[in-house]
Structure 1
Amino acid sequence: MSYPPADDRLRHLLAQRINCHVDTWKLAFFIAGAIVDDSDVQDEIERIGAAHARGQHCGDRHCPACFKAVTGA
């Protein structure tokens, strides 16, 4: 079995990052779950993915992929 599990990868990846800033893994996993389950977050991930799939700038000024595309860095 690989980690993070393919069926819950986003939640686990977020929890790993959040865990550095909170006291417990359980809290990190709870916060990550709330983020992943939020419909606005899901819509934004879809919007960004669709723009990138079309080769367009996603409009997020902090997007590393778009920054690289514009600057060639």
Structure 2
Amino acid sequence: MSYPPADDRLRHLLAQRINCHVNSWKLAFFIAGGIVDDPEIRAELDRIAAAHTAGQHCGDRNCKACFAASVTGADS
């Protein structure tokens, strides 16, 4: 079996990142689960993905992909 598991990849990836800043893997996994299960966060991820798929800026001022596109002129 590969890690992270394909059926729960987002939760595991978030937990890995969070685990660097908390005392236990269990807490990191709990926090990641709350993030993954939040409907507003899911909707925002879907909105960003849809904008990028359409070749548009997502509107997030911290988006590395949109920043890189604006610097390289890929969106022109």
TM superposition score normalised by structure 2: 0.94
User: Runs of 4 or more off by more than 3 Å in structure 1?
Assistant: none
- Unaligned runs of at least 5 residues, structure 2: none
- Cα deviation 1:7-50 (Å, max 9, x = unaligned): 00000000000000000000000000000000000000000000
- Unaligned runs of at least 5 residues, structure 1: none
Report 1:1-73 matches (<5 A).
Answer: 1-72=1-72
Could you tell me how far apart the structure 1 residues matched to 2:15 and 2:70 are? 31
* CA RMSD in angstroms, aligned pairs only: 0.3
Q: How many residues align?
A: 72
TM superposition score normalised by structure 1: 0.97
Could you tell me how far apart the structure 1 residues matched to 2:29 and 2:14 are? 8
